[in-house]
């Protein structure tokens, strides 16, 4: 039923190399045109092959990343006086630390300062004013490309749980137990489920769907269910948020043989 194309690769690394080449080319074309390239980014296991491939390709052929902007999807929150604040950026599971260590530091390695991704070009939603994030994205001309990932157990995207409305935008969310269990598996440094924060701030379904182009990355045998759910419909289904890929103006699913058996391989 799916109206969104599905491409099967032999491995997660093959997905990473393919998408990294496309993104770096798009980033460079935007720079040449004097425009920023606004890239929506998740954290966690799923996008690691993409960021790793971008770093390897930049090491072989350096280019200017000073026109790149990263729109990060979400961050864990902790209780503070008067509401919620970011979890400490020093925590190994913090999305701020992931963005700094696993994306920015790796992409910038070997680039001279003037050509690096700048610290102020890595954006996060502010729990004190979530709606300002969507306004900031709109003022930047929108997200040019959104890398997407899906939770294995309930299809969550960013911190959007099942039941998230199609018109939802950036907001503070109470994390479902399924999301927290997935995140415990992604970041064993949490130690126990009780240590995983109960709230987070996240872009909404409409924030994601408004991107000019998106790719949902689905790899590994543990993601077979989410791939099946995505392929079984042609529109957004609130009970499986990963189906938001069907709402994107230009969307695709990039998967591997472990997740996609018995689909044909690229």
CB-based contacts of 192: which residues, under 8 Å, 6+ apart? 184
Confidence check: pLDDT of 41 > 70: yes
Residue 216 confidence (pLDDT): 98
**Cα distance between residue 157 and residue 183, in whole Å:** 12
Q: Quick one: pLDDT band at residue 157, thresholds 50, 70, 90? A: very high
Confidence check: pLDDT of 266 > 60: no
Q: Quick one: pLDDT band at residue 2, thresholds 50, 70, 90? A: low
The matching CATH number, chosen from 3.40.50.1360, 3.40.50.300, 3.30.420.40, 3.40.50.920, for 5-260 is 3.40.50.1360
| Residue 155: count of CB within 10 angstroms of its CB | 23
Q: What is the mean pLDDT of residues 44-55?
A: 97
Q: Quick one: pLDDT band at residue 176, thresholds 50, 70, 90? A: confident
CB 255 within 8 A of CB 6: yes
**Cα distance between residue 195 and residue 187, in whole Å:** 11
CB-based contacts of 171: which residues, under 8 Å, 6+ apart? 130, 201, 202, 204
Confidence check: pLDDT of 22 > 70: yes
Q: Quick one: pLDDT band at residue 189, thresholds 50, 70, 90? A: confident
Residue 261 confidence (pLDDT): 85
Higher local confidence (pLDDT), 256 or 261: 256
Q: Quick one: pLDDT band at residue 250, thresholds 50, 70, 90? A: very high
Average pLDDT along the chain: 95
Confidence check: pLDDT of 179 > 90: no
The structure's pTM equals 0.94
């Amino acid at each position: 039923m799916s109206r969104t194309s599905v491409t099967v690769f032999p491995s997660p690394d093959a997905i990473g190399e393919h998408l990294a080449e496309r993104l770096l080319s798009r980033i460079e074309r935007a720079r040449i045109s004097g425009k920023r390239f606004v890239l929506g980014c998740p954290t966690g296991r799923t996008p690691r092959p993409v960021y790793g491939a971008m770093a390897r390709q930049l090491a072989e052929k350096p280019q200017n990343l000073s026109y790149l902007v990263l729109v990060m999807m979400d961050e864990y929150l902790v209780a503070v006086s008067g509401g919620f604040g970011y979890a400490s950026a020093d925590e190994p599971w913090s999305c701020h630390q992931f963005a700094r260590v696993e994306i920015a530091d790796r992409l910038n390695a070997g680039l001279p300062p003037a050509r690096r991704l700048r610290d102020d070009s890595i954006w996060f939603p502010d729990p004190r004013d979530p709606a300002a994030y969507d306004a900031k994205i709109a003022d930047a001309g929108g997200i040019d490309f959104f890398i997407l990932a899906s939770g294995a157990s309930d299809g969550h995207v960013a911190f959007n749980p099942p039941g998230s409305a199609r018109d939802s935008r950036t907001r503070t969310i109470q994390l479902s137990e399924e999301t927290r269990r997935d995140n415990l598996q992604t970041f064993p440094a949490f130690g126990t489920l009780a240590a995983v924060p109960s709230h987070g701030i996240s872009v909404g379904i409409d924030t994601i769907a408004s991107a000019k182009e998106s790719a949902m990355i689905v790899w590994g045998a543990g993601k077979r269910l989410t791939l099946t759910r995505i392929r079984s419909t042609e529109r957004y289904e609130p009970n499986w948020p990963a189906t938001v890929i069907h709402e994107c103006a230009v969307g695709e699913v990039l998967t591997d043989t472990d997740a996609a058996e018995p689909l044909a391989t690229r």
